Every structure is written in C-alpha cells, then in structure tokens.
Structure 1
C-alpha cells in the first residue's frame, strides 16, 4: 500500500459521503487528507511509526487514527461502513474519473446505477442532457475510448 492508494481510499470515502449528503466539513477533510497523502514526500508507514502523521498538513487526529488503522489491519472501518451504505454499482461509478457525487446521483435518477449500465448507454449513443461531464475520460475508463 503506497500513499497514492491510501489517498484514493480517502478520496473515494469523501465521494461516497458526499453522495450520501453527509457533513461537508468531513467530506472536505477527507479530500484534504487525500491531497496531502498524494503530495507526501515521505513513506506514510515511517511517519506513522514515528508518530508524526499529524505533522502532515491536512491530517488531524481522527484522520491519523484512520491511517494507522488501515496500515495495521489493511481495513478502515469508516470506509467499509460507507461502502455498505451505497449499492456496489454506485460505489463503482464514484470511482470513475470525471464523475462526481452529484453527477452520479443524477445518473442514478436516470436509471444508470452501475458502470455496466453507463457503458451500455454510452455505447448506444444515449445523451445525458444537463450533465457537465468530461465524457472522453469516462468513456476511456469504461473501455469505450
């Protein structure tokens, strides 16, 4: 597990929580932590072992505990809970580049509730009026680019 993978988990957690309408301060904190981990010039395991995680800008006590939990167990309880709170297809849509929580919510309202359904709709040329999405990125991620 490297810093970028851990950052991806925090970013996905933030997107799931935003999709669920959770507190925006928490969502921003997880996104900030993800950005800090992506820019980290040191080994996160080393920082954790030295008790220095909270010295990283954007990593407070609660986030540091989540990082330590993940490094120790390979799991993060908060992330696991968030994943259980949304359908699997929605969680997968939130991982696609170019699709944020609000866009995914609109897609779900349109009956697109997993990457396979989105892939089929795009392959059929279906239009999604009102959605401002970088469709080239999405298509490439879905293997349609």
Structure 2
C-alpha cells in the first residue's frame, strides 16, 4: 500500500547541475533552485474533490520551499495517475486557488499523466491500465487490483 512520502532532496546550488544560475536585470546573480520531490498528497479526504488534492500539493510545496530557503516558487511538476479522477483544466484552476497568497502564487504548473498499474488475479501479472473499468491486456480478465496510478504526486519544484 502506498504511503504519503516527502522524499524531497536538495543539495546546495554550486554542486547541482539542475540549479540554474542567471543574472537579473540589475546585474545581480540569482540562483534558481530545483528540488526533486516524490511526495504523494494525502490531503484528499477520501476522494472528495480536486481542490483538496490541490491544497495537499500546495502544502507540500510550501513546506519544501520553506525547508530549502526558496522565497518564490516559479515552476511545479506534478505527476497525476490516470485513475486519480483529476481533469487537467480543473486541477490548474484549483491549484491557482490553493496557491494564492503563498510562495507558489503565479508559478507555472507542469502536469504529467501516468498510466496506472494493476495486478491481475487471473493471470498473476502486472498490467498497465488507463481507466477504472479496464481489462487485463494479457488475459482479458476484469479482476484487477489497482496498485499504482490513482494518486497525485509533487515530483519537483523550482524557485528563487
């Protein structure tokens, strides 16, 4: 069973190839920091809405930005399982609301939809599915147990 995690990692900017150094319009050097995350939002309250998922993501982003000294989040990458019942446009709308008056307000949201994984009870194989009423691609059985792909994960964030 999946457990909410906060597997976020960060090293200082000098040793990170994914930290981008740029110069602002006044000639000062800025360090953009990218934090790799693999944190599942556990704020869902039993599947009661996209706003609660967005609020969970916003909480993770706020905590990680604070922990790593990021004053303004510029980009967020989310991974949404195919069975998470989240439409991209609705998630964008709810995410904007959830991030209001936070360090992530106005950031760019990047969403990757990933296929779900299910275990087939009849052929004992793992199968990739894209909908709840899916059949096993190996044997055609409908007796599947979803093992992954019904959640929303904060994969990484970037900021200054």
TM-score band, normalised by shorter chain = under 0.3
More RCO (CA 8 Å, sep 6+): 2
Larger relative helix fraction? 1
Of structures 1 and 2, the larger Rg is shown by 2
Task: Give the TM-score normalised by the residue count of structure 2.
Answer: 0.22
Task: Give the TM-score normalised by the residue count of structure 1.
Answer: 0.24
